[in-house]
Amino acid sequence: MKITKDTVVTLTVRIADKQGRLLDQSRGSEAYLHGGYGNTLEKIEAALEGREPGDQLTLQLSAQDAFGERDENLVRTIAKRDFPPGVKVGGVLELPGEQGQRQAFRVARIKGDTVHLDGNHPLAGQDVRFLIKVQGVRAATPEEIQHRHAHGEHGHHH
Q: Which residues bind Zn ion (CB under 5 A)?
A: 147
Using the minimum distance from each CB to Zn ion, give the nearer residue, 72 or 143: 143
Using the minimum distance from each CB to Zn ion, give the nearer residue, 133 or 147: 147
Smallest gap from Cβ 60 to Zn ion, in A, equals 32
Beta strand 114-118 with 128-139 is: unpaired
Smallest gap from Cβ 129 to Zn ion, in A, equals 31
Smallest gap from Cβ 13 to Zn ion, in A, equals 21
Residue nearest to Zn ion (CB): 147
Give the span between the Cα atoms of 46 and 123, in whole angstroms: 21
Burial class of residue 131, CB neighbours in 10 A (0-12, 13-18, 19+): middle
Using the minimum distance from each CB to Zn ion, give the nearer residue, 88 or 158: 158
- On whether the CB atoms of residues 50 and 57 are closer than 8 A, the answer is no
Smallest gap from Cβ 30 to Zn ion, in A, equals 15
Smallest gap from Cβ 156 to Zn ion, in A, equals 5
Give the span between the Cα atoms of 117 and 74, in whole angstroms: 8
Using the minimum distance from each CB to Zn ion, give the nearer residue, 48 or 140: 140
Using the minimum distance from each CB to Zn ion, give the nearer residue, 40 or 120: 40
